[in-house]
Structure 1
Amino acid sequence: GHFSAKEHRGVEIPGIYWHFVDVMWIVVYATIYLL
Structure 2
Amino acid sequence: FFGCNHFVLANQWLEQRGETPIDWMPVLPAESE
TM-score bin (small chain): 0.3 to 0.5
Q: Between Structure 1 and Structure 2, which shows a larger proportion of helix residues?
A: 1
- Structure 1 or 2, whichever has the larger Rg, is 1
Could you tell me the TM-score, scaled by structure 1's length? 0.44
